[in-house]
Structure 1
Amino acid sequence: MKNNTNFFERIAEIIKYKGFRSVHDFAINGLGYSSSEKLNRLKREGTKPSYDILEDIANKFDEINVNWLLTGRESMLKRGSVFPRGKEIITVPINVHRKTADPVREIQDVPLYDLEATAGLVELFKGTSSEAVLDRIRIPGIANCDGGVYVKGDSMYPLLKSGDIVLYKEITLDKIFWGEMYLLSIKIDDWSEYITVKFVQKSELGDNYIKLVSQNQHHQPKDMLMEHINAIALIRASIRLHN
């Protein structure tokens, strides 16, 4: 496979894939650097990456194929990564470098829920009646999912658009993988919640906060108190219907 990109362009692809807003955001919140200088110097033609940059990206984002990062050959994601294509979920044989330890299932039957037929995400996670199940999705080759819901709004566009389906696995706040995409219920007051899909990053305000980041650059990041998160689930896969 011919290498048509340089190293900095491949970093830009990772930034887009992971939902960071800029090289600076990726350097600070993704790699833990104090500035983006080490990455920005790679824009200069002929500049080669240092070993520590390669090591940092490989350690922080273990789904990234280091051979692709270094040479541009093969694909960006290691074997076993899951990504959408049209209305299918495309999977390839599973690699050991997965963030979660739960086993991949050969096939599973995932319920698709109507959030409007429930009392919100918290009640959905507690268990809901069959009346809230719109349909069931049979899908191979991914780890266990608790359910699926339709996406609303444009905050994750173009990665997700309104009407797409996301398949999720409920987790607790102490199990967050920083930089990944999550389905969240945010407390507005004692009677209402705001349900959204966002990238979750560490907040500069301290351990009591998380930063919610949109793919759509017209939506500004927002720091949120963790105590205001009623429920959270890791997004395992997405499905887009084009027609």
Structure 2
Amino acid sequence: MGSTERVREYLDYKGITKYKFCNDLGFSNKFLDNSSNMGTDKACKILHYYPDLSSEWLLTGNGPMIKEENTSVMVMNSDRKTVDSLHANQEIPLYDLEAVAGLRELFSSGEPQRILDTIKIPNLPKCDGAISVTGDSMYPLLKSGDIILYKETEFENIFFGEMYLLSVKLNDWEEYITVKYVQKSDQGQDYVKLVSQNSHHQPKDIHVSKISALALIKASIRINTMM
């Protein structure tokens, strides 16, 4: 049985129609008609969209179809030539973002009373903190309730095309906290384009002066089931 056949078996198990599957992931309607193995890019996209699907089962047929773990951790991949060093042991504070006035205050203070808990995952790049995601702008890569682990940075050190946690000033007293891909803007060097994973959210060009805080997303944690 090829990996495409295993996808059909998974869809039958979950009660997902072939049309919905192809439409949601942007695949051709004929994608599921063959019985061969799929490419790595398509397999990664399927595994990101359906986090309960076992990668080992999809690619090899071994083990259970549905993940036995309750939690999945995804380290964000990068095409950059530079590689971050991995830390065998680090405790990452999980902050309560609702307890602070904004992202800049969180970055500058880091006071203990704003820490809900700590996260300890071996062999991760250096992270400064973690918060829970709200909204669906990065769905299906991230969904509301996922935890993102970040490394604070400055705009001068930005890697265009990467995913960032950032705070955008709407006015003198209000800011918008979001997770987006940051890309170069056609409006010039003083602007950046914020792009969502969710196609229902339109890209937006903003002036760099409106970015009050910035952090590179290093990893994400998703709880697949509470049972």
Q: Please, what TM-score do these two structures have when normalized by structure 2?
A: 0.66
Structure 1 spans left out of the alignment, 5+ residues = 5-21, 23-70, 78-83, 92-96
Query: Over the residues paired in the alignment, what is the CA RMSD in angstroms?
Result: 2.9
| Structure-1 separation of matches of 2:143 and 2:100 | 22
Specify the alignment match of 2:204 in structure 1: 222
Deviation at 1:115, TM superposition (A): 0.5
Structure 2 spans left out of the alignment, 5+ residues = 5-25, 27-37, 45-50, 53-69
CA, structure 1 residues 99+169, in 2 after alignment: closer, same or farther (shift >3 Å)? Answer: farther
Specify the alignment match of 1:232 in structure 2: 214
* Kept in 1: contact 2:73–2:222 (CA 8 A): no
- Residue type at the aligned position of 2:214: I
Deviation at 1:3, TM superposition (A): 9.5
Residues 3-26 of structure 1: per-residue CA shift (max 9 Å, x gap): 97xxxxxxxxxxxxxxxxx9xxxx
Specify the alignment match of 1:213 in structure 2: 195
Q: Please, what TM-score do these two structures have when normalized by structure 1?
A: 0.62
Which of the numbers 110, 116, 138 marks the counterpart of 1:134? 116
1:171 equivalenced with 2:157 (yes/no): no
Specify the alignment match of 2:103 in structure 1: 121
Specify the alignment match of 1:185 in structure 2: 167
Specify the alignment match of 2:127 in structure 1: 145
- Residue type at the aligned position of 2:71: K
Specify the alignment match of 1:58 in structure 2: none
* Kept in 2: contact 1:118–1:128 (CA 8 A): no
Specify the alignment match of 1:201 in structure 2: 183
Q: % of aligned pairs identical?
A: 55
Residues 46-69 of structure 1: per-residue CA shift (max 9 Å, x gap): xxxxxxxxxxxxxxxxxxxxxxxx
Deviation at 1:128, TM superposition (A): 2.5
Specify the alignment match of 1:87 in structure 2: 71
Deviation at 1:88, TM superposition (A): 2.8
CA, structure 1 residues 211+118, in 2 after alignment: closer, same or farther (shift >3 Å)? Answer: same
| Structure-2 separation of matches of 1:197 and 1:182 | 6
| Structure-2 separation of matches of 1:74 and 1:219 | 23
Deviation at 1:239, TM superposition (A): 0.5
